[in-house]
Structure 1
């Protein structure tokens, strides 16, 4: 295992660049527009070559702008909806934005008179106009007593996941209210399986026939074409049951010929709490890979990260093992001057067709500051760890990069997965606090090199592992966008938009970004600042 020393490279001049250097990203910029203010922004690169820019705001509602393959603006439209009320943006969350059937599809959840309602918006890929708006379902009122037992919370929420290899998708409705005498346990959790044409393929109920567990905490859902929907939960009870563990992770499947899920308990997880995870099918091997993160199980020899392999035919657990990162720990000790092992939380799993994978990690440190209830909790998002794992979960290569950022709120594990699928909640009323879209990082892998992208203070980029001596990035306008390139045993720093200066800089909306693996183009919203002005542009970065 080799460890990567730092070199520095500046890409100077105005972009786009006409001369392509080996493995150097090439940037194309749109025409400038005003810096987005309130709300949230997202880009979507479509298979037809167009890029759709979506801006959500309380003032303007939802506005779509379409750019063609030549990166020219060709259409713009203000979306007028009948079900979703953009004026009540603070009660809205986005559960996913995907290209489905060649069109941008937005899944919105809005609380309407205390009722969570899930709405689907389908836009035209050429004009950005609204083609259809559908109410997919709703949950019971949020005015109920939450059921929490040993850090396991009964989920009361809606979820959307699309198949990574097709346009089939599923929608789950989890009712987590306290069970009443007249409630039907069979109807509390329902899942809808849709085709790329938005036709209902199957509808399944999620419950345990033996009623061993009455409440469920959602972990993750995955779709395999038209064949299966998989769900992982933690089952638990509000009262002890003889012979039943207090809690257990459950792996469940919905098949086309069934109206209810079949379940397999992972016995080794008895008593687990606060579990998060990610799963995806590996059709080549007829397996599902399930990555679990259980912070409550951390010990000196266990980081709480477990990889599970299950059979798609039966759901049976084939094998499971904790993931260890000895080479990543050596990397941070060598390059970032750590004294201890690397202890980052899993943020995203990139699974290859053969079952090998890349695991993106990030150190997360939570703390309290301030007296107000809304802005009391904070999270420091620290150094980056990346591990390329073989099919057995062993490290083939590791990367470590120093950074330190701070957000208002609690950052959970797998936040990079949720950001990649465009999950977002419009909670903060103070615009200055909505910095989350600028923070954390992105990772791009190409056949020739790997790239790590993020915003940070320039003066702290060479350190690492020393939160007490570093100033965390809190305000995006003070940052600069940095790209690290890993190739040929080297690690190089690139300033893609040109050399930053004291009175000039560039930073990007990481949460707005979209990467097209087929074209190796990373699209994001770049903001440039000088003494006189600050403007925004869409940047298409060709890796």
Structure 2
């Protein structure tokens, strides 16, 4: 372990870095900073189990473990959540076993890295032979599991979305857990008065030991008896067996394409972001911001939102036809109750050639808008970028869904995204890019990142007065053009109380690659 005291740049100070180890290129990964000061690095594969690297409060190696869960090898899985509960790490891992979606909960000891328990906690209906066709061509959503943890306590919840359930009142099921990992509430999110044939889960917020607020979209289609639609917020209180519904008077003439909710502990209100369109196939998305009192069951605010300063700056640099058009992707609550909304331009691309379909996505410019405690926009920032990801399409609010999940490692795609760091004093946007985009972006031109071998890690200070802030090297300027230092920001963990960012640094010096866990302190 090498301790470093000098500042790498004006805003990021290196605290420590681990020794070099082989880069994980397949499976899933995530870093956790534990409350006891330890750091855990996870690498999860579907066939070979789980590798854990544990570092103590002085950032020295404590243990390296290989875990072999009792579920054995996964045929195909995903890491739905990794977070700390009662001093241990919780891993929520899903798989399709014989076409049955199943969710396992693993408890890993936060002091030793040993596996303490593996338990199946949820299971959905077995998918029929025609299910793939229904999802591909019939518009039926994929059955799935969703996990959210309360950032202020050790309470968490699991939402089970059973899209092929014939009973419309049993398609969304909520499990609510306490710090002892025991269930404290369990209920179905029923269609109000059986009115809607389709119930679509959107997001949820866990409010300590009080309740879980679940956002869902209820709708009918012409084929199912009409075009009625409604955005619904339900509360599942601790100990309750039923949810209480709040019908939100929200965009009656539009279709909800996505939404997220966050609990604001300062105001004791729910802040909701939603995207809406004139039709389900429309590419013209309108973002909305709402504030909801979950206890009084009242919608207090509902407005369209746009990052106005960012839009103006992008039009000035790139021209009116290429002005910023991104939609919200995530929401961050600040310590004083104000909040920030992260926007990004996303273009999903589907190419069909005979029997072959290819997927890709362009992740381009980013904007950050700051809002007061009552939802008034206080200004915004514009950050140009262009990343191209192969083999994926991304859904609305993908960045929010990625929070707390394990990052999939595939073809270097994990390096092509960005992270938002809501710091104690300042906030930052971080991503990997090529140096030539430093000057060309100011002229409205960008090199799109496909391979990342020539990239370095950059940060953008979005707390100043410059609407389009300058970039700076996270790890300092490389000594030669052949030397590059990337960061796997998508698996990073930031502890706001300790003001410590932990990420994975990839050093690429003339083709020699290796990674380190690094601890840094933003200004």
Corresponding position: 1:391 with 2:373: yes
Report if the CA contact (8 A) 2:482-2:510 is conserved. Answer: yes
Match of 1:175 among 159, 162, 170: 162
Residue 153 (structure 2) aligns with: 166
Aligned mates of 1:283, 1:322 — CA distance in 2: 24
Match of 1:51 among 31, 34, 39: 39
Structure-2 change in CA distance of 1:456 and 1:19 (3 Å): closer
How far does residue 17 in structure 1 lie from its aligned partner after superposition?
3.1
Give the length in aligned residue pairs: 513
Report if the CA contact (8 A) 1:281-1:288 is conserved. Answer: yes
Residue 96 (structure 1) aligns with: 81
Residue 282 (structure 1) aligns with: 264
1:201-280 alignment to 2 at 5 Å? Answer: 201-208=184-191, 210-237=193-220, 245-256=227-238, 258-270=240-252, 272-273=254-255, 275-280=257-262
Aligned mates of 1:200, 1:419 — CA distance in 2: 24
Residue 440 (structure 1) aligns with: 417
Residue 71 (structure 1) aligns with: 59
Deviates more, 1:354-363 or 1:270-279: 270-279
Residue 471 (structure 2) aligns with: 493
Match of 2:339 among 357, 363, 371: 357
Aligned mates of 1:370, 1:241 — CA distance in 2: 30
Residue 311 (structure 1) aligns with: 293
**TM-score normalized by structure 1?**
0.86
Aligned mates of 2:96, 2:154 — CA distance in 1: 27
Report if the CA contact (8 A) 2:457-2:487 is conserved. Answer: yes
Structure-2 change in CA distance of 1:505 and 1:154 (3 Å): closer
Residue 434 (structure 2) aligns with: 457
**TM-score normalized by structure 2?**
0.89
Corresponding position: 1:515 with 2:498: no
Match of 1:481 among 441, 451, 457: 457
Match of 2:93 among 77, 85, 108: 108
Aligned mates of 1:78, 1:148 — CA distance in 2: 37
Give the SS at the match of 1:499: coil
Give the SS at the match of 2:32: strand
Which consecutive unaligned segments of at least 5 residues does structure 1 have? 1-13
How far does residue 16 in structure 1 lie from its aligned partner after superposition?
2.1
Give the SS at the match of 2:363: strand
Report if the CA contact (8 A) 2:49-2:69 is conserved. Answer: no
Deviates more, 1:53-62 or 1:161-170: 53-62
Give the SS at the match of 1:458: coil
Aligned mates of 1:509, 1:21 — CA distance in 2: 19
Structure-2 change in CA distance of 1:425 and 1:505 (3 Å): closer
Give the SS at the match of 1:77: strand
How far does residue 373 in structure 1 lie from its aligned partner after superposition?
6.9
Match of 1:471 among 430, 443, 447: 447
Deviates more, 1:316-325 or 1:382-391: 316-325
Aligned mates of 1:442, 1:221 — CA distance in 2: 22
Give deviations 1:173-197, integer Å, cap 9, x for gaps: 1211162xxxx55444321110011
1:3-22 alignment to 2 at 5 Å? Answer: 16-18=4-6
1:272-351 alignment to 2 at 5 Å? Answer: 272-273=254-255, 275-296=257-278, 304-334=286-316, 341-351=323-333
Give deviations 1:463-518, integer Å, cap 9, x for gaps: 44999x64311122231111223455354432232323321101111222111111
How far does residue 234 in structure 1 lie from its aligned partner after superposition?
1.2
Aligned mates of 1:106, 1:520 — CA distance in 2: 24
Corresponding position: 1:196 with 2:174: no
Residue 519 (structure 2) aligns with: 540
Aligned mates of 1:103, 1:361 — CA distance in 2: 33
Which structure's relative contact order is higher, taking Cα pairs within 8 Å and 6+ residues apart? Answer: 1
Which consecutive unaligned segments of at least 5 residues does structure 2 have? none
